[in-house]
Amino acid sequence: MKTLTLIFSFFLVTSTTLSQDCSKYYPMEEGTSFQYTMTNKKGKTEGVTDYSITNVENSGGVTTATMNMKFTDEKGKEIMVSDYKISCTGGTVNIDYNSLVPSQMMKQYTDMGVEMEISGTDIELPNNLKVGQDLADANVAITIKMTGMNMTIKVDQLNRKVEKKESITTPAGTFDCFLLTQDNISETMGVKQTMQSKLWLAEGVGMVKQESYKKNGDLTNQMQLTKFNN
C-alpha cells in the first residue's frame, strides 16, 4: 500500500510539473533532469525523487517525451523506478497514467489477481497566468480491484487560484515564481480529508516548491526542487 501511495504522489507532482504548454513552463528536452526532496513538518527528509527525460520524438505535430522516475527513501534505499510517456500537441499535455506503475509491480499484482487503474483530469496551467486568476479544477484516482473488494483512492483539486508573484530560493537556485493555492479533498474508502496546498511555479522549470497544510493551517510536509539541469 505504501507503493500505491508513492505512485499517487508522483502523479500529482508529474501533472503539476508537466500539464502545461510544453514550451513555456517546462523544457521538454532530452537530457533534462530534476530532483525533488520531500520533508516533513519538522524539515526531516522523507524521500527524494529524481526525474530525467530520456527520449523526445516529434511526429505529426505531436511531441512525445519518455520520462524516467526514481524514488529513494530517507535512508537512500531505492524504492521504485518507472518510465512513462508524456505527449504534447496544441499546447495540451497528455500523461499515460497507467504507465506510471512500474512493469515489475504490475506483473506482481496481476499474478496476485489484482487489477489497477489510474485516471484523472490534467491540471491546466495556461501560458498567460496572472495574479488573481482562477484556474480549472482537477482530479486523480487510483482504483484497485481484487477478489471480493474494490478500493478507490482519489483527490479533487479545487479552488485553484494564482495568488501573487514572488522570488523563491531552493538548493537548485533562485526563481521568479507564481504562487498558486488550492484545496485538496482526498477520499479513501469513504473517508474524506481536506487539506490546503501552495505551489510555486517558474517558467522554463515547472514546480519549484510545494507545501501542504492541514485544515487548521498547520504545515504537514514540503517538497522543493533541489537539482535542475538542462
- 28 against 97, higher pLDDT: 28
Question: What values do phi and psi take at 52, rounded to 5?
Answer: -150, 140
pLDDT at 104: 61
How confident is the model over 153-170, as pLDDT tens digits?
A: 888 889 999 999 999 999
Burial 65-75 (b: 16+ CB within 10 A, else e): bbbebebebee
Whether the pLDDT of residue 90 is over 70: the answer is no
- The pLDDT value recorded for residue 178 is 94
Q: Are 201 and 177 in contact (CB under 8 A)?
A: yes
Instruction: Tell me the backbone φ, ψ of residue 12, rounded to 5 degrees.
Output: -65, -40
Res 145: pLDDT: 85
Per-residue pLDDT at 19 exceeds 50: no
Q: Which three cell numbers stand for residue 145?
A: 480491484
pLDDT tens track for 115-138: 877 787 767 777 778 999 998 888
Mean pLDDT of the chain: 81
The reported pLDDT for the residue numbered 20 is 45
pTM over 0.85: no
Q: Give me the half-sphere count of Cα atoms (radius 13 Å) on the Cβ side of residue 204.
A: 6
**Spatial distance between the Cα atoms of 36 and 13, rounded to a whole number of angstroms:** 9
pLDDT band at 148 (very low <50, low <70, confident <90, very high): confident
Q: What is the largest CA-CA distance in the chain?
A: 51
Tens-digit pLDDT profile for residues 183-222: 989 888 888 889 999 999 898 888 899 999 998 899 999 9
Q: Residue 39: is its pLDDT beyond 90?
A: yes
Of the listed ranges 17-21, 54-58, 75-79, the one predicted with least confidence: 17-21
The conformational region for residue 216 under phi > 0 = left, psi -120 to 50 = alpha, else beta, is alpha
pLDDT at 21: 45
Query: What is the pLDDT, as a whole number, of residue 210?
Result: 92
Task: Give percent above pLDDT 70 in the chain.
Answer: 77
Assign 85 a pLDDT band (cuts: 50, 70, 90).
Answer: confident
What nine digits make up the cell of 213? 497544510
Q: Is the pLDDT score of 45 beyond 50?
A: yes
Is the alpha carbon torsion for 18, 22, 25, 27 positive or negative? positive
Q: How far, CA to CA in Å, does 76 sit from each of 11, 37, 46, 100?
A: 21, 12, 10, 21
**Which domains, from first to last, does the chain contain?**
2-229 (2.40.360.20)
- Predicted pLDDT at 146: 80
Query: Quick one: pLDDT at residue 97?
Result: 58
